Each structure stands twice: as structure tokens, then as C-alpha cells.
Amino acid sequence: MTDFAITKALFALPEGMFYLDGNSLGPLPRAAQDRVASAVADEWGQMLITGWNKAGWMAQPTALGDRIGRLIGASPGHVVLGDTLSVKVYQALAAAIDLVPERRVILTDSGNFPSDIYMAEGLITSLGRGHELRVVAPEEIAAAITSEIAVVMLTQVDYRTGRMYDMDALTAKAHEVGAVTVWDLAHSAGALPVDVAGCNADFAVGCTYKYLNGGPGAPAFIYVAPHHIDTCQPALSGWLGHEAPFAFDLDYRPGTGIERMRVGTPPVLQMAALEAALDIWDQVDMQALRTASIALSEQFIAGVEAACPMLALASPRDAGQRGSQVSFRFDQGYAAMQACITRGLVGDFRAPDIMRFGFTPLFIDADDVNRAINIVADVMQNRLWDDPTYQTRAAVT
């Protein structure tokens, strides 16, 4: 079992802040400060170029990938870090399309994060082979998986509502009709137990700065299933995905296994921060995390609904169909969230009217949730949101 009082003490959280936004940007692991300082001073400063070998920088993308693999049900050698999630979506989708050359339809849902949709559109245009991106409502996805579909590209947990797909059932359905799957785990990795190998997912991608607490700008990850790893064609054929990068050949030959999904030089300082975060994750049992996350979310829903009839639950009521976030709809949601933030409760706002709160047992406990409920109740019951200073939207919401 995981002791969440111990993990909480491993994060540096500002005094008096209730941070229900670890689903957008995880907080700072205390150890990351020293780890990054040492990567700067001792590795970059002292080793300079020899750090690639001596400090193991070049091996970090796969070494840290294996540690993330444990959290998503991948065996070692199937996950690698690099680039941003948008780039990894492109890379996974390009490889998936190649596996089903005779079909032309990519299926996704209208709840998907826009960047995933934009990247798919950009890829389709570049390919110029007449692919169609078919976008249907989330509740229509299962029925839309037909023998016309080449790739089913979905984000498991909806970033706005927290609605969660049954990855196992939809992957099985996709395979029945001969389609391949690309799963985006942005709101799943570190939020709930995932079993990419158990559900036979073909490709999965995710970011490490949300629930995984790798810090702003931390690299993304990609998983490729064992049955595709030696045959899939990397569309982003950078030198570090080459079989022998330091042979400097003029012809591209994909590297062995997951190495082929590397592109270019890895972000060494970001990986130092992520490594400190993974030292915490290494101690976490994902089933215990899920149990704790559901308890906190249920406590929050019950408390907010009892105090604030004007807020409408936007997340599924059934915990089994929800990720690790709870969202409420309110037409003055932006101003209401600003009023909460001023009072120490940090969540975020997603257009048009969603107030979103993330539940992260690693550093949020039942006392924090009680205090958060009190702040929401105060803001809503006393109309504290109705103040002109909360109306001006910042660039990042």
C-alpha cells in the first residue's frame, strides 16, 4: 500500500494553497530542485559533452520511459520519451495509418483535445492521400467503429468532463473490424491504472507534466505494442531514431525497437526534473491511487452539490466512468474560478463554462478537499465571482 501522507511531504506546495490543478501542471517534487541543480552544475557544468555518456543522458529517454511504462502497463523497452505530446500524436498516427494502407478514415470524437485533432488534420494534408478525419460525439464512438475505419484515435479521459472510455472494449472492437488504435493518455497516466499491454492497444501517447509532475515543458512519451515495434515506420525519421546515429549514414534505417520513435536531442534538464518525480511514482501502487482518487472526488462532489445548487455536475456521476477530475458547469465559470484562485483554491477553467478540479492523492488529502469545498461554497453562495476584476481573461486559462 502507498502511504499518501509520505508522498505529500515530498512535494513543495505553497502554504495555504489547495492545488486541485495537478491534472494541468503537477507541482514541484522537493527533490527536483537539487536534482536539476546538480544536472546543471555537476553534469552540464563539469562534464560538458561527456555527460551524454558519463551521466547517461543519451539513455534517459528509454530508462525513464520504462519507469512510466510500469504506470501504464507496458513492459520494459516499449516506451520512450521525447518531444511534446502533439508531436507524439502525429508520430503515432502516422505509423498507425501506415499499418492499414487500404483504408482512409481516421475516427475520433468531438470531445478530443483540439491539438490532437489539429495534428491529425495537418498529417492528412501532408500525406495528400485522401484520408478523412471523422469526428463524432463521444457517445457515438462505439457504433462508428466499422470496417471503413483505419485508425481509432481517442483520448481516454475527456479533458473537459473527465468522462472515461473503456479502453479495453473499444480496442477490442477496433481490432474486430481490422482497425488500429492510438490512445492519448494525457489525463490517464498517473491518474488511474492503465494496462496498454493487457488491452492490446497498438499505440499510446501521453505527457509527463500533468499528473506525472515532470514540470512545465517535460517531454511526452510514446508506447508501441510489441507486435508493431519492429515493423512500424517512423514518419519523423530523425537521427536519434536511426539504427546507428553516430555512423552518420546518408540513408535512414529505423533503430531497434522503441528507439526508432526517438527524433532528436533529448531535453536533459527537463528529464532531470522528471526523474525526481518518477522517484516518487516508483513507490506508488496504482490501485491504491485509484481508490484514494475516487474517495476524494466523491467527497468533493457531495460537498459542492450540497452547498451549491447553482453548479451542475459536468462529469459522469458514476466513478467508474470518470477519470481523476471533477467538472462543474456554471455560466460565470471563468469569474468563479478566478474568485476561488484568489482564495487559495486553484483549479482551472475550460471554455465555454467548465470549472475543472483535479484530484491527485499524491499531494491532496481529505482535509484539503474539505477546505476546497468551503471556498467554492463561499464563492458561490456569496456571489463573490460577481466582481469586475474577475472578468478579464488572462492568456492562459
Ligand X SMILES: *Cc1c(COP(=O)(O)O)cnc(C)c1O
Q: Could you list the active site residues?
A: 113, 184, 209-210, 356
Nearer to ligand X, 163 or 187 (CB): 187
| Chain length of the chain | 397
**Nearest residue (CB) to ligand X, 91 versus 332:** 91
- Residue number, 117 or 294, with CB nearest to ligand X: 117
253 CB-side CA count, 13 A: 10
Positions touching ligand X (CB under 6 A) are: 84-86, 113, 115-116, 155, 159, 184, 186-187, 207, 220
Q: Output 77 or 138, the one with its CB closest to ligand X.
A: 138
We find the least distance from the C-beta atom of residue 115 to ligand X, in angstroms, to be 4
Residue 184 Cβ vs ligand X, minimum distance, rounded to whole Å: 5
Q: How many degrees, rounded to 5, is the angle at CA 187 between CA 182 and CA 190? A: 105
Closest distance of CB 333 from ligand X, Å: 19
Provide, rounded to whole angstroms, the least separation between the CB of residue 22 and ligand X. Answer: 13
What is each CA distance from 196 to 77, 102, 123, 375, in whole angstroms?
A: 13, 26, 24, 38
CB neighbours of residue 293 within 10 Å? 24
Rounded CA separation 113/85 (Å): 11
Nearer to ligand X, 201 or 369 (CB): 201
Backbone φ, ψ for residue 86 (5° rounding)? -55, -40
Q: Least distance (Å) from ligand X to the CB of residue 99?
A: 22
The C-alpha cell that represents 166 in the structure block: 473503456
- Grid coordinates representing 118 are 489539429
Degrees, nearest 5: CA angle 137-197-195: 65
Q: Which is nearer to ligand X, 220 or 225 (CB)?
A: 220
Alpha-carbon distances of 148 from 132, 143, 145, 199, rounded to whole Å: 11, 12, 8, 22
Q: Which amino acid is present at 118?
A: Y
Count Cβ atoms below 10 Å from residue 61 Cβ, excluding itself.
25
Q: Which lies closer to ligand X via its Cβ, residue 84 or residue 291?
A: 84
Q: How far is the CB of 209 from ligand X (least distance, A)?
A: 7
Minimum Å gap between C-beta 359 and ligand X is 16
